[in-house]
């Protein structure tokens, strides 16, 4: 148990890197019978795929997905990644979700199988119960001080923060360093939120808000009781680490030891380390101190994986510690990488046999409009109704992603004119500055024809 306490300074289990564009997705938006509501949980339309995903969630909960996976197939921008995020959210806030692209296995630093192994271990959580010293209360004041990024002058990073926490009976002001300040920002902690901070590791958790009157709008936060007692107190908490976190901490101990002896260590994690971790975790589970939480490993552009990667994944799915594998692709029949064999979606048939395939279809204008409305709200971009119409038109004629990307430039153009609301004109202007892929290809092709012949 001591060992576990020493490695708690790891970050939350969700890999947020690639999920920014999907921060509005809070679930699959299904009713009690598993039917998709038109708009719910940040999801719009795509009814059948969402309902199918809901069935997968139930199968996962009932332990009937072991050894199986999901394949999302559909054109780009039809919500494949969004649905994978939705599945992970439905499984619980704590469920590890790791998103990667098939192309990421081609790295010069690590073997393909090592990259996949690490991704798999990142997507398996270990939930540990423990008593911890924490600061808990309602945020009554928060001030974050920034500095420029040490290497990148265009990025501001938090340096420190001052935060006052209150309960019915107590009040305490904390001054915290950059690590904690960064988490306050990432979690968007605001005045009125109820949070707690681990006194030892500085990990921040947002529990919800104290709601004075009943709210009926869709804004998603949990209403919680006003905390009482001292701000600084002992609390029984449950936290989740991933197998990869545990691998790293054990490997780090070895590296420190090896450096002492002058032995060079590779960046790959030795298999004995993983075995040791598995043994320790099994012991914790048997003694009732921990629970295993298989999460979701999402691999986008799965047709970029090669035969070696596919056979590794097939084998991994059979292990008793394996995450739910969700693959996505927009390819039809194509060659399996590393072979001359053609196969549906570039995936070997034996693996395809174990995948439930879900189709996502292109959106109509109404759906695009609602998705754009949600994204604008999420990014705090005030659009006029005409601007939303214009973006919807662009989203329908060009692509949803392109329309989403134009929002921020349009907001900047509006701001320069001293307006707070984005107009249709701002959107049109943004679209002349930034073009979509089709247009950029057309542009260079015209020049190729003129000059390169």
Ligand X SMILES: Nc1ncnc2c1ncn2[C@@H]1O[C@H](COP(=O)(O)OP(=O)(O)O)[C@@H](O)[C@H]1O
List the x/- string, 78-107, binding to Mg ion by CB under 5 A. --xx--------------------------
Which CB sits closer to ligand X, 82 or 324?
82
By a kind-dependent CB cut-off of 5 to 8 A, residue 401 interacts, out of Mg ion, ligand X, none, with ligand X
By a kind-dependent CB cut-off of 5 to 8 A, residue 348 interacts, out of ligand X, Mg ion, none, with none
Q: Which residues pair with 293 in a beta bridge?
A: 125
Quickly tell me which residue has 């090592």 as its tokens. 114
Which CB sits closer to Mg ion, 128 or 304?
304
CA separation for the pair 311, 324 (Å, rounded): 16
Instruction: Give DSSP secondary structure letters for 27-47.
Output: S--B-TTSPBPSEETTEES-H
Which residue's Cβ has the minimum distance to ligand X? 79
- Smallest distance from the beta carbon of 341 to Mg ion, in angstroms? 25
- Smallest distance from the beta carbon of 300 to Mg ion, in angstroms? 5
CA atoms within 13 A on the CB side of 90: 28
- Smallest distance from the beta carbon of 338 to ligand X, in angstroms? 24
Torsion-angle region of 208 (φ positive above 0: left; ψ -120 to 50: alpha; else: beta):
left
For the CA atoms of 229, 231, 234, 235, what is the dihedral angle to 10 degrees?
A: 90
By a kind-dependent CB cut-off of 5 to 8 A, residue 44 interacts, out of ligand X, Mg ion, none, with ligand X
- Smallest distance from the beta carbon of 129 to ligand X, in angstroms? 34
Instruction: Give DSSP secondary structure letters for 284-348.
Output: HHHTTSEEEEE-EEEEESGGGSBHHHHHHHHHHHTSSS-PEEEEEE---EEEPBTSS-EEETT--
Query: Token pair of 367, please?
Result: 């759906």
Quickly tell me which residue has 């996502």 as its tokens. 360
DSSP state of 232: E
- Smallest distance from the beta carbon of 168 to ligand X, in angstroms? 39
CA angle 185, 90, 213 (to 5 degrees): 60
For the CA atoms of 120, 122, 126, 131, what is the dihedral angle to 10 degrees?
A: 180
Which CB sits closer to ligand X, 25 or 347?
25
List the x/- string, 293-312, binding to Mg ion by CB under 5 A. -------x------------
Quickly tell me which residue has 């010293």 as its tokens. 133
Which CB sits closer to ligand X, 161 or 324?
324
- Is residue 240 a contact point for Mg ion (CB under 5 A)? no
Instruction: Give DSSP secondary structure letters for 344-402.
Output: ETT--HHHHTTEEEEE-----HHHHHHHHHHHHHHTT--B-HHHHHHHHHHHHHS-HHH
Which CB sits closer to ligand X, 27 or 125?
27
- Smallest distance from the beta carbon of 103 to ligand X, in angstroms? 14
List the x/- string, 309-328, binding to Mg ion by CB under 5 A. --------------------
- Smallest distance from the beta carbon of 143 to ligand X, in angstroms? 32
Which CB sits closer to Mg ion, 251 or 305?
305
- Smallest distance from the beta carbon of 138 to ligand X, in angstroms? 32
**Which span sits near Mg ion by CB under 5 A: 30-38, 76-84, 103-111, 182-190?**
76-84
By a kind-dependent CB cut-off of 5 to 8 A, residue 79 interacts, out of Mg ion, ligand X, none, with ligand X
| Interface ranges with ligand X (CB under 6 A) | 21-22, 25, 42-46, 74, 76-82, 360, 371, 400-401, 404
Write out the residues near Mg ion by the rule CB under 5 A: 80-81, 300
């Amino acid at each position: 148990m001591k060992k576990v306490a020493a490695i708690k300074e790891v970050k939350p289990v969700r890999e947020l890197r690639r999920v920014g564009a999907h921060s509005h997705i809070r679930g699959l938006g299904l009713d009690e019978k598993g039917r998709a509501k038109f708009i719910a949980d940040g999801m719009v339309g795509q009814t059948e795929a969402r309902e199918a995903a809901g069935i997968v969630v139930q199968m996962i909960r009932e332990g009937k997905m072991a050894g199986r996976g999901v394949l999302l197939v559909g054109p780009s921008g039809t919500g494949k990644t969004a649905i994978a995020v939705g599945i992970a959210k439905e499984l619980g806030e704590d469920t590890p979700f790791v998103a990667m692209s098939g192309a990421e296995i081609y790295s010069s630093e690590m073997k393909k199988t090592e990259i996949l192994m690490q991704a798999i271990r990142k997507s398996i959580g270990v939930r540990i119960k423990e008593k911890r010293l924490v600061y808990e209360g309602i945020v009554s004041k928060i001030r974050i001080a920034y500095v420029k990024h040490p290497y990148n002058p265009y990025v501001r990073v938090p340096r420190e923060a001052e935060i006052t926490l209150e309960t019915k009976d107590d009040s305490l002001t904390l001054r915290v360093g950059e690590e904690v300040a960064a988490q306050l920002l990432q979690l968007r902690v605001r005045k009125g939120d109820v949070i707690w901070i681990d006194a030892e590791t500085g990990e921040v958790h947002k529990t919800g808000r104290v709601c004075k009157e009943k709210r009926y709008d869709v804004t998603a936060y949990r209403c919680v009781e006003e905390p009482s007692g001292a701000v600084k107190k002992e609390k029984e908490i449950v936290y989740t680490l991933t197998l990869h976190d545990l691998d790293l901490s054990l490997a780090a101990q070895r590296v420190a030891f090896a450096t002492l002896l002058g032995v060079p260590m590779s960046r790959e994690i030795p298999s004995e380390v993983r075995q040791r971790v598995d043994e320790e975790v099994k012991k914790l589970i048997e003694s009732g101190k921990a629970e295993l939480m298989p999460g979701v490993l999402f691999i986008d552009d799965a047709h970029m994986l090669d035969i070696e990667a596919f056979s590794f994944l097939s084998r991994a799915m059979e292990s008793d510690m394996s995450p739910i594998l969700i693959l996505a692709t927009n390819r039809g029949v194509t060659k399996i990488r590393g072979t001359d064999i053609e196969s549906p979606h570039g995936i070997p048939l034996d693996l395809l046999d174990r995948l439930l395939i879900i189709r996502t279809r292109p959106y109509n204008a109404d759906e695009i409009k609602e998705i754009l409305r949600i994204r604008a709200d999420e990014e705090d971009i005030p659009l006029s109704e005409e601007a939303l119409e214009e973006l919807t038109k662009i989203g329908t004629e060009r692509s949803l992603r392109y329309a989403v990307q134009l929002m921020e430039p349009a907001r900047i153009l509006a701001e320069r004119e001293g307006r707070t609301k984005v107009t249709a004109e701002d959107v049109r202007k943004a679209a002349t500055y930034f073009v979509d892929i089709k247009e950029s290809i057309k542009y260079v092709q015209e020049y190729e024809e003129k000059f390169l012949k």
